[in-house]
Amino acid sequence: MQLIENLKIEEKVYKEKLDNGMTVMIIPRENTQKKYIIWGTHYGSNESKFIVPGEEAVTEVPKGVAHFLEHKMFEQANGTNSLDVLTALGVEANAYTTNDHTAYLYECTDKFYEALDEFMDYVQHPYFTDQNVEKEKGIIGQEIMMYDDYPEWKVYLNTLEAMYHKHPVKLDITGTIETISHIDKDILYKCYNTFYNPSNMALVVCGDFKPEEILEEIKKRLVPKNSAGEIKRLYPEEPANVVKNYVEQKMEVSMPLFTIGIKDVPSEEKVKKHIAIEILLNIILGRSSKLYKDLYNKGIILSQPSLEYEFTEGYAHILITGQATDPNVVFEGFKSEIASLKQNGLDEDEWSRIRKMIYGGYVKEYNDVAETARMFLADFFKGINSFDYIDEIESVKSEYGLQVLKETFKEENMVLSVVKKA
């Protein structure tokens, strides 16, 4: 087992790549009550066109299969539902699908190993029939319709659709009622067998464990499977420009919702760039920024917008989401502040202060076993060791920040999505 230590925050992770190709990460936390485990596959909603290892033909499946699979995994051949079994044991179990991975998880204070039996059994034993697949279409169809009524979801999705011409990140993770109607058990088994191979998966456990012992317990419960070759993931070529700069929808909202999106391209310096963008966003529209205070004092916004940078190997974008009496005023102020910073440069003291604040946020994430484990899994599928954020933040200087500001925060790559009162 490889030991990776971070002396700055006194954290360590034990990492092992098993013979079957699966990576296991163990983050020991002595004297903590809560135990958390998350098992993920590098397979999300973006993967609908691929070449299966050993095959030459391209496989194309309907949009929404990864999320559909996540739903179906709990149903077992003996008639039980693994989610119910785990809940009856007193553990909190869940699952989720993102654009680039699917994850299954639970947390508990006791009965960890009883739960582990069920957990590792259902993830390795899918059970799909014509009947249970058809039944699930109705359930997921209701979920899709429910999300269609959520203004917070629509303002986000409309932003992606305004930014991206072809990349599947623009599509709803759940698919549509039309696309899921084409899913059958053969498609589910093909995607399961392709993407749920151990070589495409990683497992993270965090809590009061002895690394060698928990690793043996995990190995004991693994179904023997050989590592598969590389899955070729096929994406359409995405133009650099945005589709349109403005999109508006009317829904039942008390105050307009907005998302400002900035389309970017993936960088080789993933961590360094991510840190720089976080600092820049806080300088431009963070709680202590001039722009935020001005908008707040004028009653245009009542709380700080969320500031995010999302990226994988295939795409990258900035998202700023909040509520405002007039989103256009926020957007114009945002663009004006960026232009001013590009012209006048970044204040060294402010850069240093915000960087310290963000470092504090990174350290705080390690206080919770769930946050720590989820972070290590998500970062792993991006090709990142989570400790890199702690190690690299001091080296992210304002000169680099100004370079990122000029290269990434381009007005022609910005979109504004608004949901207004109907």
**pLDDT tens profile 271-326:** 999 999 999 999 999 999 999 999 999 999 999 999 999 999 889 999 999 999 99
| 324 and 403 both lie in a single domain | yes
Looking at the domain assignment, is residue 240 inside a domain?
A: no
| 223 and 354 both lie in a single domain | no
Cα separation, 387 vs 9, whole angstroms = 9
Q: Are 198 and 21 in contact (CB under 8 A)?
A: yes
Structural domain ending residue among the three candidates 203, 233, 263: 233
pLDDT interval class at 355 (50, 70, 90): very high
Looking at the domain assignment, is residue 124 inside a domain?
A: yes
149, amino acid identity: D
| 205 and 252 both lie in a single domain | no
| 214 and 300 both lie in a single domain | no
Q: Are 83 and 58 in contact (CB under 8 A)?
A: no
Q: Residue 146's pLDDT is what?
A: 86
Average pLDDT, integer, range 217-242: 94
* Tokens describing residue 157: 């999705």
Tens digit of pLDDT for each residue in 339-351? 999 999 999 999 9
Looking at the domain assignment, is residue 273 inside a domain?
A: yes
Looking only at Cα atoms, what is the longest distance across the chain?
67
pLDDT interval class at 147 (50, 70, 90): confident
| 204 and 294 both lie in a single domain | no
Cα separation, 353 vs 346, whole angstroms = 12
HSE-up of 273 (CA within 13 Å, CB side)? 22
Q: Which residues contact 332 (CB under 8 A, 6 or more apart)?
A: none
Structural domain ending residue among the three candidates 233, 258, 286: 233
CATH number at residue 284: 3.30.830.10
Structural domain ending residue among the three candidates 200, 233, 266: 233
Full domain range(s) for residue 285: 246-421
CB-count burial class (<10 Å; 0-12, 13-18, 19+) for 351 = buried
Of 86, 93, 95, give the one whose Cα is nearest residue 114.
86
pLDDT interval class at 248 (50, 70, 90): very high
| 63 and 167 both lie in a single domain | yes
Question: What is the reported pTM?
Answer: 0.93
How many distinct structural domains can be found in the chain?
2
Catalytic residue among 47, 70, 107, 238: 70
Looking at the domain assignment, is residue 310 inside a domain?
A: yes
Contacts 24+ apart (CB under 8 A), 403-411: 404/273, 404/276, 404/277, 404/280, 405/280, 405/338, 405/341, 405/342, 405/346, 406/342, 408/262, 408/264, 408/273, 408/277, 408/318, 409/262, 409/280, 409/318, 409/338, 409/342, 410/262, 411/335, 411/338
Asked if 70 is an active-site residue, the reply is: yes
| 297 and 164 both lie in a single domain | no
Looking at the domain assignment, is residue 241 inside a domain?
A: no
Looking at the domain assignment, is residue 289 inside a domain?
A: yes
Q: Are 307 and 282 in contact (CB under 8 A)?
A: yes
| 142 and 281 both lie in a single domain | no
Residues pairing with 221 in the sheet: none
HSE-up of 330 (CA within 13 Å, CB side)? 31
Cα separation, 136 vs 132, whole angstroms = 6
Average pLDDT, integer, range 27-50: 95
Q: Residue 251's pLDDT is what?
A: 94
HSE-up of 33 (CA within 13 Å, CB side)? 2
| 306 and 328 both lie in a single domain | yes
Q: Residue 148's pLDDT is what?
A: 84
HSE-up of 55 (CA within 13 Å, CB side)? 11
Tens digit of pLDDT for each residue in 161-173? 999 999 999 999 9
| 222 and 297 both lie in a single domain | no
| 190 and 288 both lie in a single domain | no
Looking at the domain assignment, is residue 238 inside a domain?
A: no
| 255 and 226 both lie in a single domain | no
Q: Residue 313's pLDDT is what?
A: 84
Tens digit of pLDDT for each residue in 80-91? 999 999 999 999
Q: Residue 270's pLDDT is what?
A: 95
Looking at the domain assignment, is residue 51 inside a domain?
A: yes
Q: Residue 63's pLDDT is what?
A: 95
Query: Mean pLDDT across the chain, nearest whole number?
Result: 95
